[in-house]
Chain A
């Protein structure tokens, strides 16, 4: 199970929509509470279902969001490269995530809206430095162009998978956000999703940003 966190307006819901439905919605409703998405991916030859919890970014919903960290195997911590304040708030989000989640949770730092290069307010190097300092994986993405969106979700899944192989996650405890499927697969959820796709559909567009 993934959770997507970050300030309001950074594009969390758009990232989810792009990942699950391969589409971009320029105007998106403010998320309140939690909305759910899911998709099947292929990691190391295994079909894995990613169940994604899209949370509200507004400060007034923050206390609600905190209650959903528990049980997440991975988190996408998102900021907007065109809005410095969303980058400045990362520490606060990270503290929340670390405080309310498993210590083994994989956190991917995402600088979204990389298509808006002309309005860039946070250098890529700053994101990289923050990630390095806090032990996060880092990518810049564009939910609009789909650049690196696949990679962001799948690389996080790969890191979770690596931790599972290292024995850092107890896959028999579903509270860790990981559930082994009926066959061989390691899944973060159960059952299919309306938006699921086969792994063959997963393209590679790394390096597009």
Chain B
């Protein structure tokens, strides 16, 4: 397994995705490093998770100082959706998930797997516990609980990603004349907390999600110690089966857009067409492009 020592924070102008810890993180730095030099032109959407056991007890698999980074990226930046899943283990030297200010206490990141997303099934396993279920076609199953240091908005991004991987985007055209309006991490204006128009969000996004994203923008910051490096991303054949269950929206103030069980057989999902359009009218919506992740992650 390959590891890299994290670097001290670099002062730049990080986007909201960087602030939230989902862009330009440790995993991104590792795979873009000369050692790997993988997907170097693609942005990486990543988060820290705790691996837990099967449903029922949700016991941590590893000791407290070990987390798992789950990330998605694209083998080719111009693809409309991510097509690669990355998994890495992180050992934090001084307590859990500490921020670091010098290389001496930097976490050690160990890349463990690179998986084509089309051979992976992502599910929202437990909405309240913020647990993802990652299942490969070989029936290897991981239960991953989003790290508590991530704001709620980050899990909303994962929910959104799961939906996108299942349904595709309403616009996947390569025509540059068409303004692309989707983003995962909304970009804030320079002067205020103004958020992007709702049209910039995915069609399935609900107002509550937008509120969550806005809230996250205002509360993020614990991840800003990771260097910013805006890049491109996306993917084509993200034919992933998704199931969202245990979504008890009545018990959470943050309603999920589609709290329904979406059980799609993996093989069926593999045949999903990325070119289908949910709402062709969206072609004519125009909105400012979002963060580096948003503008490139989901569109050319």
Contacts and interface: CB of A to CB of B under 8 A. Distances in A.
Interface in A16-45: 29-30, 32-38
Interface string B1-24: 111110000000000000000000
Contacts of A173: 34
Contacts of A175: 34, 37
A190 B1 contact: no
A71 interface: yes
Interface of A is mostly: loop
A67 interface: yes
Given A35-B113, A190-B4, A195-B1, A179 B35 contact: yes
B119 interface: yes
Interface string B110-134: 1111111001000000000000000
A55 to B, nearest CB: 10
Contacts of B136: 32
B2 A33 contact: no
Contact of A29 (B1, B37, B138): B138
Nearest to A193: B1
B108 interface: yes
Contact of A34 (B37, B108, B114): B114
B137 interface: yes
Nearest to A35: B113
B108 A191 contact: yes
B119 A33 contact: yes
Contacts of B85: 33
Q: Which of A32, A51, A61 has the most CB of B within 10 A?
A: A32
B138 A37 contact: no
Q: Which of B33, B112, B116 has the most CB of A within 10 A?
A: B116
A193 B34 contact: no
B227 interface: no
Given A29-B138, A32-B138, A190 B37 contact: no
Given A36-B111, A189-B3, A194-B1, 17 more contacts: A1-B35, A32-B116, A33-B116, A36-B2, A38-B2, A51-B2, A67-B75, A71-B37, A173-B34, A174-B37, A175-B34, A175-B37, A189-B35, A190-B3, A191-B108, A192-B3, A194-B110
Interface of A: 1, 29-30, 32-38, 51, 61, 64, 67-68, 70-71, 173-175, 179, 189-195
8 contacts: A34-B114, A36-B2, A36-B112, A38-B1, A51-B1, A191-B2, A191-B5, A194-B110
